[in-house]
Amino acid sequence: MTRPLFGDFLPHIVRSSWAEQVITGAYDAVSPAERHRLTTENPFNYLNVTRSPGDNPDGDEDIDTLLSNGRASLDQLFAVDAFE
């Protein structure tokens, strides 16, 4: 018998009142320059949680900084109660 890849988890759904600020669409459907613009203009955009090194035009963020900033962005969304 195989073990499941994931255990139980509590899903979080974006509240409809926050949808326009949080949701952008598919990550790979937006260019790195556009992702940078969206994350700079809107701190509540979920792209701030899922950023990758290519999203910063200066390219000066290491993976640990990206992960730390992503976690801070997710914590911010929880703090403003953007999820059900």
**pLDDT tens-digit map of 12-54:** 999 999 999 999 888 889 888 899 899 999 999 999 999 888 8
> What whole-number distance in Å separates Cα of residue 73 and Cα of residue 13?
16
pLDDT on residue 77: 97
- The pTM of the whole model exceeds 0.85: no
Given phi > 0 = left and psi -120 to 50 = alpha, else beta, which region is 81? Answer: left
Distances (CA, A) of 36 to 11, 23, 32, 45, 82: 27, 15, 6, 11, 21
